Amino acid sequence: MTTRIALLGAGRIGQVHARAIASNPSARLVAVADAMPAAAEKLAADYGVETATIGEIAANDDVDAVAICTPTDTHADLIEQFARAGKAVFCEKPIALDIERVRQCLDVVDQSGVLFMVGFNRRFDPHFRALKAAIDEGRIGTVEQVAITSRDPGLPPREYIPSSGGLFRDMTIHDFDMARFLVGEPFIRVMATASALVDPTIRELGDYDTATIILVTASGRQVSISNSRRASYGYDQRIEVTGDLGMIAAENQRPASIELANADGFTRPPLYDFFMSRYVDAYRDEIGSFIAAATGARPVEVSGADGLAALELAQAAERSVRENRMIDL
Amino acid sequence: MTTRIALLGAGRIGQVHARAIASNPSARLVAVADAMPAAAEKLAADYGVETATIGEIAANDDVDAVAICTPTDTHADLIEQFARAGKAVFCEKPIALDIERVRQCLDVVDQSGVLFMVGFNRRFDPHFRALKAAIDEGRIGTVEQVAITSRDPGLPPREYIPSSGGLFRDMTIHDFDMARFLVGEPFIRVMATASALVDPTIRELGDYDTATIILVTASGRQVSISNSRRASYGYDQRIEVTGDLGMIAAENQRPASIELANADGFTRPPLYDFFMSRYVDAYRDEIGSFIAAATGARPVEVSGADGLAALELAQAAERSVRENRMIDL
Amino acid sequence: MTTRIALLGAGRIGQVHARAIASNPSARLVAVADAMPAAAEKLAADYGVETATIGEIAANDDVDAVAICTPTDTHADLIEQFARAGKAVFCEKPIALDIERVRQCLDVVDQSGVLFMVGFNRRFDPHFRALKAAIDEGRIGTVEQVAITSRDPGLPPREYIPSSGGLFRDMTIHDFDMARFLVGEPFIRVMATASALVDPTIRELGDYDTATIILVTASGRQVSISNSRRASYGYDQRIEVTGDLGMIAAENQRPASIELANADGFTRPPLYDFFMSRYVDAYRDEIGSFIAAATGARPVEVSGADGLAALELAQAAERSVRENRMIDL
Amino acid sequence: MTTRIALLGAGRIGQVHARAIASNPSARLVAVADAMPAAAEKLAADYGVETATIGEIAANDDVDAVAICTPTDTHADLIEQFARAGKAVFCEKPIALDIERVRQCLDVVDQSGVLFMVGFNRRFDPHFRALKAAIDEGRIGTVEQVAITSRDPGLPPREYIPSSGGLFRDMTIHDFDMARFLVGEPFIRVMATASALVDPTIRELGDYDTATIILVTASGRQVSISNSRRASYGYDQRIEVTGDLGMIAAENQRPASIELANADGFTRPPLYDFFMSRYVDAYRDEIGSFIAAATGARPVEVSGADGLAALELAQAAERSVRENRMIDL
């Protein structure tokens, strides 16, 4: 069975998903929509498909599913529209920045009964996946401590920040989801510190660029997250998990595994520059998972509830910083 | 401009090239031929193209180029046939196992004037390519010593060995080509030792499974190659080059970069299991290079003369072992 | 000038210091005291020196300095006694477990005018020292985030715990000192979580075995500390520091740098088993620093104030856990 | 029992051994001799012992053993003199540069019945020792291939070269000994190439600075050795051994295990600068092994026969280069 997918949003991440859909033998890209017609046409031409409006796609019985890659503030509306139209829906994170809006949206999804998946791409990274598999196989016993290091190579454009939802909802949300994915027990407490060290004027926008967060479960398991909007050495994405039997760690990735030795020492090249190159395989396997779910081959791997839970942790972390106190969930 | 390519041979390596051609925006897979119709049909169906006979492809004006992935003993004849038919030709290594036959074949190619490329896939591995780029940029100065480690995970099927041309022509030939690629100066002397340690009965077939080879240039640069048909830890593919200013090394690759620590120590998973998984990117970029050459975008990167030169080194190494002496080229 | 040193305490750590003193060309071990005469005699015989009582050593004009390696609850009294006797004093951490007692003791030291050094051995580890030197040279710019991982191989004897001062005063205190050493700016806030995951009955003793702590400075720099009383893979001692220009990390150490590759993967041996083997060089250089200070060759590198400050952080962390709130200093 | 040792030669390596003897609880340094009185006096003063002449030491019944650290051309005569005087003898490699001279000397040693040990320090390096132990425990099965990389940081003083015996006797001899140590089966064939790439004028002195050597055993096991008198990145000392069950490798060592990450990549410091710093532990354990043998605690670990066998391999390698042929032993 081939899943016929329409792509909403022909920007950077839309292009990534288009490629992944086109190369998947179980799916077919059938239409592209974008508010900027030129962008839609370019991408549609690359894959020999048609452009269409949102409305046309929703009304088209030959479309089984949509991949929503539009700006964040359109996500919830589009999810509801396509859920009501009976399409399977994949949506890039976040569903929305406001928790109430997310809840409403998920209610609509639930009532519609359509298949829905949120795009937390890192769960599909082969290295993190191997780490998760090792945990699930009991290789480290019961998880006790997790350390997630997640640093972007640089600040986003200044104009993006006000609509981003802030550091915790925009960036750390991936780490909150990863923490949930790995620990397998709800968090009951959040404590965090955050500052603007990369660019002090970020504070004027009410945001931060550097943060350290602790999450705690009822049984006393502990997660620490280290975030920065700056990493001169590339996109820093590491996870380390310890249990009663041992520790497992996923290392950073780089485009070329070479090492140069000279009088300055032994030097390996910088890491991948950002998520578009670092997570190529993750994006491919993420959409593969959605397609597999759409064909009934496996259950949905990242649910709307996962999207909501990560957002709740982001909100709690932000409150912890603003109110200088630990937040109990 | 789109290069229309027919695939000859629908076996394992043919499938790799089919995928690479299909995903390359500058090329189109237009036909598949195989002596086993079922194999051709399966592969053709996967990519929505037609099957055809060798003769039909040679006669088809809508085919610009062929990728030859058939058994070794058919290579030279097919190269000649398609060169005469005016098609650009990509052929998996080796052209032939006999040097005279290679020379004849290359004469036909030269007279035909078609574009011809030999498939030494490792030249296109991103890690080795980064290593070569560092050398070309002068990062280690003048190359002085090269160490190539190349170990297969296990012996090929016993019945393959008699037609393989022996260890040096079948396996080491890649290392000879890599040595030539990196050193950039002709070799004038070869000395080698070889034995059958993995399976002593390999000697009954006149072959070896374990070898160490030294190549020397006129200026005294030295290459050592270490080969084995056994590596319990995966497909061992490393290169290390020293020059007057430093050393550069390309490390082994593995599917997942994780490390497990427990009372037994710190363990990273085995390497890729063999060339089909290890060199996915290399095969993709190899056919990309052929397509780029076919469209005139860049010169051919691996010529027929490269194929011949590597074979001459293989023959010299074999003579060195059989005659217990150094061979001057 | 040779510094004549008496050793107080002939136990495990006393033996380490005896060896370091004996091998230092600027010092001479001149006497050994221990509440257990047999222990004192054994150690004295190994180095060809005399045993003596505490009182004899204090009264002996041929003793320039003492190294206090006795149980924690004797430290403060001995420091005061020997400060009043005019001897240079090196004392293993901690000075005392109670902050008021530490302050009294340091007052006595100050009034006596003797040279006084606290034994935070990790500051002298060559790897951490190289890391600190790189920071001081500006290699990573301004320090922004520090991550300290510190895991003991196992729980101390259960009977030790009540007199240990608890996890934060006994174990984390080294990490608090390291944080202070690296960040170079006072901490204004501490938040922590702790649990008993290694041995739940530790809670009955009012202690923890697993903790994660965040320290924050006025300018928003952040330190995270991860502690556990369990590490199946050896004594886990790592530091990672990021600044605006880069990151610097000190790796774990192991007795033998070998790697075994087989079908299970690539395995390096476990780490050093504990501080006595991991910090051999650190202990040697620590006592070397004390001797250099005693001879006036360099200033005291770890002061009584450093000992007090680390203890204050330990107390704050403990309060943060007990009171479920962030503690402002 | 304490072994009373006199040191012959107070130069650089003599100082290393003096320190090792002084810190060994089973030995005592009792006298120092050197052709340069000032050198002897300085070293004697450091350790509170007497200076003496060669003759006085030979005649002194309170001397149990000598450590010969004088220039190479005095080794054989001194070994014979002290063997006849009934002292246990430790001698730095080589015994002599001429094979006949070595045989004569070993005959004298044999007839005297004294304990005799040759100084191949690398056998005592903790990392190589762990590697050897892993082989002996069967961790990689039967040894099949060995790769030894051994590069000095730079050329020795030009005036040293004529008396050095040439690259193979002076430098590679350590690698020949290591090959014998690891393979445990006699070599029957040697083939080598050598050139002067570091300093072409080395050829005028009849020597080389860059070499690659293959050793082969009767059963077909293979050793490759890569040598250079230049390594901008420090003293390069690595060993890799493969067997039918796996591979084991000993990595390079550096003074500080830190890594700096910035826009240039991830950089670890250069290696130890040369053998005096790289092999501190090896020298300590080497003299410890001699002392243990002198007290009967264990057998001699490196015999005169080992010294001879390594020299024979050096001679064969040199002949292989000079005569452009493989040499059968």
Regions in chain B scoring below 70 on pLDDT: 1
C81 contacts C58 by C-beta, under 8 angstroms: yes
Shared domain check, A273 and A138: yes
Structural domain ending residue among the three candidates A97, A114, A131: A114
Beta strand spans in chain D (E): 3-8, 27-33, 50-51, 65-68, 88-92, 116-119, 143-151, 187-195, 210-217, 222-228, 236-243, 247-250, 258-262, 265-268, 327-328
CATH number of B160's domain: 3.30.360.10
C170-203 pLDDT, tens digit per residue, is 999 999 999 999 998 999 999 999 999 999 999 9
Tell whether D265 is within 8 A of chain B (Cβ). Answer: no
In this model, does residue D94 exceed pLDDT 90? yes
- Beta-carbon contacts of residue A77 (< 8 Å; ≥ 6 apart): none
The number of angstroms, rounded, from the C-alpha of C67 to the middle of its chain's C-alpha atoms is 14
Give the gap in angstroms from C-alpha B255 to the nearest C-alpha of chain A. 8
Q: Which residues of C touch D259 (CB under 8 A)?
A: 248-249, 251
A200 and A219 in a single domain? The answer is yes
- Check the CA dihedral A226-A227-A231-A237 and report its sign: positive
D266 part of contact set with chain A, CB < 8 Å: yes
Domain finish residue from A81, A114, A147: A114
Report chain D residues whose CB lies below 8 A from the CB of A154.
none
Same domain, B128 and B261: yes
Burial of B77 (0-12, 13-18, 19+ CB in 10 A): middle
User: Which of these three, A114, A132, A161, is where a domain ends?
Assistant: A114
Chain B residues 295-324 with a CB less than 8 Å from chain D: 324
Q: Do the chains contact at A195 and C151, CB–CB below 8 Å?
A: no
Q: Are A314 and A22 in contact (CB under 8 A)?
A: no
Interface contact C242-A224, CB threshold 8 A = no
Which own/partner contact pairs does A295-300 have at CB distance under 8 Å and 24+ positions apart?
A295/A1, A295/A3, A295/A26, A300/A115, A300/A116, A300/A117
Of C44-53, C71-80, D178-187, D307-316, give the lowest mean pLDDT range: C44-53
pTM, rounded to two decimals: 0.96
Residue of C228, C233, C238 to mutate, testing the B interface (most B Cβ within 10 Å of its Cβ): C233
Q: Does C145 touch chain A (CB under 8 A)?
A: yes
* DSSP letter (8 states) at residue D121: G
D270 and A269 within 8 Å at the Cβ level: the answer is no
Mean pLDDT, to the nearest integer, of A161-174? 96
3-state secondary structure of D249: strand
Residues B310 and B187 in one domain: yes
pLDDT-based confidence at C239, cuts 50/70/90?
very high
**Using a CB-CB distance cutoff of 8 angstroms, which residues of chain D are in contact with residue A262?**
232-233
Distance from CA of B242 to the nearest CA of A (A): 9
Neighbours of B299 (CB within 10 A): 10
> For residue D183, what are the CA distances in angstroms to D142, D171, D241?
9, 19, 9
Q: Is A46 on the interface with B (CB under 8 A)?
A: yes
The alpha-carbon gap from B282 to the nearest alpha carbon of chain A, in Å, equals 13
pLDDT tens figures, D262-291: 999 999 999 999 999 999 999 999 999 999
Mutate to test the interface with A, among B127, B128, B242, B260 (most CBs of A within 10 A): B260
From residue A25, give the alpha-carbon distance in Å to each of A4, B31, C123. 11, 19, 58
Residue A36 DSSP symbol: S
Mean local confidence (pLDDT), C57-69: 97
pLDDT, average across residues C75-89 = 98
CA distance D122 to D282: 6
Residues C192 and C132 reside in one and the same domain = yes
Task: Please report how the helices A99-112 and A75-84 are oriented relative to each other, as an axis angle in degrees rounded to 10.
Answer: 10
Cβ <8 Å between B266 and C270? yes
Among the partner-chain residues D195, D220, D325, the one whose CB lies closest to the CB of B195 is D220
Name which of D219, D246, D325 is nearest B232 (Cβ-Cβ). D246
C190 touches chain A (CB under 8 A): no
B262 touches chain A (CB under 8 A): yes
Say whether residue D200 is in contact with chain B using an 8 A CB cutoff. no
Partner-chain contact C251 D260, CB within 8 Å: no
Average pLDDT over every residue of D208-236: 98
Contact D219 B195 (CB under 8 A): yes
Answer whether A257 sits within 8 Å of B246, measured CB to CB. no
Residues of chain A with C-beta less than 8 angstroms from the C-beta of D263: 232-233, 270
Q: Residue A20 has what pLDDT? A: 87
The pLDDT score that the predictor gives to residue C22 is 82
- State yes or no: pLDDT of A299 exceeds 90: yes
The whole-chain average pLDDT of chain C stands at: 96
Indicate whether C273 and C310 sit together in one domain.
yes
Total domains in the fold of chain B? 2
ipTM of predicted complex: 0.96
Residues A74 and A150 in one domain: no
C256 lies within 8 A of chain B by CB? no
Q: Closest residue of D to B194, CA-based?
A: D220
Q: Which of B261, B262, B269 sits opposite C265 (nearest CB)?
A: B269
Query: In this predicted structure, what is the pLDDT of residue C47?
Result: 81
Q: Does A210 touch chain C (CB under 8 A)?
A: yes
Closest-CA distance, D156 to chain A, in angstroms, reads 18
Record: contact A233-D262, CB cut-off 8 A: yes
Contacts of B268 (CB under 8 A, 6+ apart): B254, B257, B258, B259, B260, C265, C266, C267
Task: Tell whether A230 lies on the interface with C, counting CB pairs under 8 A.
Answer: yes
pLDDT of residue D105: 98
pLDDT attached to residue A86: 97
Q: Which of B140, B246, B258 sits opposite A127 (nearest CB)?
A: B258
Instruction: Count chain A–chain D contacts defined by CB atoms under 8 A.
Output: 43
List of chain B residues whose C-beta atoms are within 8 Å of the C-beta of residue D194: 220
Q: For the domain that residue C93 is a member of, what is the CATH number?
A: 3.40.50.720
Other chains touching D, judged by 3 or more CB pairs under 8 Å: A, B, C
Do A160 and A46 share a domain, yes or no? no
For residues B139 and B218, state if they share a domain.
Answer: yes
DSSP 8-state code for residue C214: E
Looking at chain A from residue 52 to 81, which residues have their Cβ under 8 Å from any Cβ of chain B? Answer: none
Please give the full DSSP string across C86-135, using - where no structure is assigned.
T-EEEEESPS-SSHHHHHHHHHHHHHHT--EEEE-GGGG-HHHHHHHHHH
B217–chain D Cβ distance below 8 A for any pair = no
DSSP structure string for B48-112: T-EE--HHHHHH-TT--EEEE-S-GGGHHHHHHHHHHTT-EEEEESPS-SSHHHHHHHHHHHHHH
Distance CA C57, CA C46 (A): 19
As a whole number of Å, the CA-based R_g of chain D is: 20
pLDDT above 90 for A26: no
Contact with chain A for residue B240, Cβ under 8 A: no
Residues of chain C neighbouring A197 (CB-CB closer than 8 A): 142, 144, 219-221, 244
Query: Do both A221 and A257 map to the same domain?
Result: yes
Range of the domain at D245: 123-328
The pLDDT score that the predictor gives to residue C283 is 95
Size of interface A-C (CB pairs under 8 A): 115
pLDDT tens-place string over residues D55-91: 999 999 999 999 999 999 999 999 999 999 999 999 9
Neighbours of chain A (3+ CB pairs under 8 A): B, C, D
Select from B237, B224, B223 the least CA-distant residue to B143: B223
Query: For A262, which residue in chain D has the nearest alpha carbon?
Result: D233
Please answer yes or no on whether B140 and A253 come within 8 Å at the CB atom.
no
> Could you tell me if C25 lies within 8 Å of chain D, comparing CB atoms?
yes
- Cα separation, B213 vs B194, whole angstroms: 8
Position D47 scores a pLDDT of: 81
Compare all CA atoms of chain D with the CA of B146 and give the residue at the minimum distance.
D226
Residues C32 and C170 in one domain: no
Same domain? For C164 and C257 the reply is yes
**Residue that the structure tokens 């969930």 belong to:** A329
Put simply, the answer to whether A264 touches D263 (Cβ < 8 Å) is no
Question: How far is residue A186's CA from residue A168's CA, in Å, rounded to a whole number?
Answer: 18
Q: Do B244 and D226 touch (CB under 8 A)?
A: no
